[in-house]
Amino acid sequence: MNAKRPPRCMRLTKDHVARLARHIPDPGFQVFPGMVPATDADYERVVAEIMAGAPEDGFWVFGYGSLIWNPEFDFVERRTALARGWHRRFCLGWDYRYRGNREQPGLMLAIDRGGQCHGVVFRLPGDAVKPNMDRLIRREMSMVPSAFPPRWIKVTTPQGPLKALTFAMNRNSGRYIGDLTEEATADMLATACGFRGSMAEYLHATVAHLEEMGIHDRHLWRLQHLTADRIEQLHGPCRGD
């Protein structure tokens, strides 16, 4: 990982993403079998459990996907970090609301067991951990039981090791999709769109920000190539971005 290396030229461009832009009304909460909407009591319980297990030398959050480019919480420090024993993967299904719909469901990124994952850790302000965790949990946990519950993991940073909170895939969840090929995943990323945008937009933003930080994820890099190819097969060639 080299933060000074210029970003590579992505195959998936903003022009590809624009091909998928369309207005989709918010369909509202989408219920999954065996799950129910999280309540205020659920949020309070989970935040209390998280804070009870937090280290005393700083509260850090490990981001591997959209938290990298859209954290939506306050932080006072940011570092690149490596989580060993986890890898980044589109293995959380299905998204019928935010970046997918019932006809063209989306997939969500999570970290799954095995390998390693380069990401970013954010240190929350020590005097405002609770309000920031309230915001984060409501963003990441809409249902109970959660398919990717919060947990503390060990990460390595250029400044040394630390313990960070992240959201890791539960393989026992009915939402775990562990057997999709990269080609099948790209087929979904090239078509899925919800009221917040498309999966291609999500993939583009994630890869672009990782590259800007000197983080090259070979799996996502192949996916952005395949997704761009699929979009051009469906909509025709795109100009260079």
Gap between the Cα atoms of 84 and 90, Å rounded: 18
Q: Is the peptide bond before 60 cis (omega within 30 degrees of 0)?
A: no
How far is it, in rounded angstroms, from Cα 213 to Cα 7? 8
Cα–Cα dist 80/62, whole Å: 9
Strands (E), the chain: 36-37, 60-63, 77-95, 106-123, 143-144, 150-157, 160-167, 193-194, 197-198
Q: Answer yes or no: 183 catalytic.
A: no
Give me the sign of the Cα torsion angle 178, 181, 184, 185. Answer: positive
Q: Which of 49, 72, 77, 140 does the annotation list as catalytic?
A: 140
User: Which amino acids are annotated catalytic?
Assistant: 140
